A and B are shown apart, each in its own frame.
Chain A
Amino acid sequence: MRADEDQLRAWMVDGLDGNASSHEALLRALVPLLRAFYRRRVGDTDAIEDIVQETLITIHTRRMSYDRHRAFGAWLFAIARYKMVDHFRRTRQTCPIDDVEHLLISPGFEDETGAAIDMDRLLDDLPDKQSRLIRQTKLEGHSIAETALAEGLGESDVKVSVHRGLKALAARIRGDRR
């Protein structure tokens, strides 16, 4: 079972109040979430379990920095993201940019850039929530569950919004062509 924002937050708040079993339940529920989060982003699969453990320790020692009035998912993923960047920095995982000229003059580059600009323009016309969710799920590659948690929304809410947004986009594109 995947725990949702409300459940995680309830455990977190309980844990902050000193309830050890809620805190334990929270950390256990976070393990699959964090594994999925890092697996999609960190190439080095051997390192994932280490990063997950480090993140759990951080969440434990720095839990004071969670504000009870804010979305738990946003706090969680901010920490997870920071730990991931830290991992990249420590292992000096970098992307060589020697060939950047080739990249820039490669045949597909202009088309892709143009497509990205068009996409931005189209998304800007959508309601804020829909465009934000489409960006996260379709462009940045977050899963529905992660997006729901980070935004403090239900998963079905995210799915519906993305679906409606894509439908509106499709209608707009057809309209433009006509």
Chain B
Amino acid sequence: MNTDTLIAALAKDLPPVSRHAVGRRLLLGILGGGGITLLMIALLLGFRGDLGLAMRGFAFWMKWTYTISLGIGAVVMVVRLARPEPVRLRGFWPLAIPFALLAIVSVAEMAHVPSGDWLAMWLGKTWKKCPWLVLMLSAPIFIGLLWSFRRLAPTRLSAAGGAAGLAAGAWAATLYCLHCPEVSALFLLTWYTLGIGLAAIAGALLGPRLLRW
């Protein structure tokens, strides 16, 4: 095709692009995927019966504070990596803050519980499936983010994929809280983090294949 014809064709239909287009598109991808994740929880797992009661307690909000703060941090990372600009990954160290705070809460929690109960507290009732469920539930959100990336231009594909996986994992975990009955900070620190971490690793591995443009 002739370059002149190509340019004329490209310029023919030109929808305006808003200043907040990147954020809006990422939000749309996350909401779209999150809707599917929510549907999966509702159909496959079911919401916890005492949700209304739990939402008045400390444990639920501790869980949400952890997963939501990770989710927001990861989305900031995705926004930065979505443009073809040099990005210093070390600048994302604040993502470790929620983890560090939760570790402190876990230590305080252990201090209040006799050491004989630590194992039961750490493993809860669902440790075997929790990380895998978080990983599975993150898939729709990750796919939503892949859709968002189709109009964006990441140049560091592993990092962008990893950030997208982290965001997907953290928001999937946030929704998973609506099902999961666990209450211990130590449980959250280990098994939720593992699930979210698996999602981030999967994203980093898939990034170079799926995000190429």
**The 5 A-B residue pairs with the shortest CB-CB distance in the complex, in nearest-first order:** A18-B16, A78-B84, A24-B11, A65-B153, A16-B17
Give CA–CA (A24, B17) in the complex, Å: 15
Asked whether any CB of chain B lies closer than 8 Å to the CB of A132, the reply is no
Interface size on A, residues (CB 8 A): 34
User: When A31-B3, A49-B3, A57-B10 are in contact, do A65 and B15 touch as well, CB less than 8 Å?
Assistant: no
Q: Mark A135-156, 1 if CB is under 8 A from B, else 0.
A: 0000000000000000000000
Write the B146-178 contact mask toward A (1 if CB under 8 angstroms, else 0): 000001110100000000000000000000000
Does A28 make an interface contact (CB < 8 A)?
yes
Interface string of A71-96 (1 = CB under 8 A from B): 00011001100100010000000000
Task: Give the distance in Å from the alpha carbon of A61 to the alpha carbon of B11 in the complex.
Answer: 11
Q: Is the CB of A65 within 8 A of B22?
A: yes
Which residues, 41 to 57 on A, are CB-close (under 8 Å) to B?
Answer: 49, 52-53, 56-57
CB <8 Å contact, B7 and A70: no
Give every chain A residue within 8 A of B14 (Cβ-Cβ): 15, 18-20, 23
Count of chain B residues near A, Cβ 8 A: 26
Q: Please, which residues of chain B bring their CB within 8 A of the CB of A57?
A: 6, 10
Closest A residue to B15 using CB positions: A18
- What chain A residues lie within 8 Å of B21 (beta carbons)? 64
Contact status A20-B153, CB under 8 Å: no
Instruction: Kindly provide the distance from the CB of B69 to the nearest chain A CB, expressed in whole angstroms.
Output: 25
State the main secondary structure of chain A at its contact with B.
Answer: helix
Q: CA A49 – CA B83 in complex, angstroms?
A: 25
- Contact between B85 and A74 (Cβ–Cβ < 8 Å)? yes
Give me 10 other A-B pairs in contact (C-beta within 8 A), A31-B3, A70-B85, A75-B85 excluded: A23-B10, A24-B10, A24-B11, A53-B1, A53-B6, A57-B10, A58-B153, A58-B213, A64-B17, A65-B83
- In angstroms, how far is the closest chain A Cβ from the Cβ of B87? 11
Cα distance, A27 to B12, chains bound together (Å): 12
Q: How far is the CA of A74 from the CA of B86 in the complex (A)?
A: 10
Cβ–Cβ contact A82 & B1, under 8 A: no
C-alpha spacing A119/B103, complex, angstroms: 49
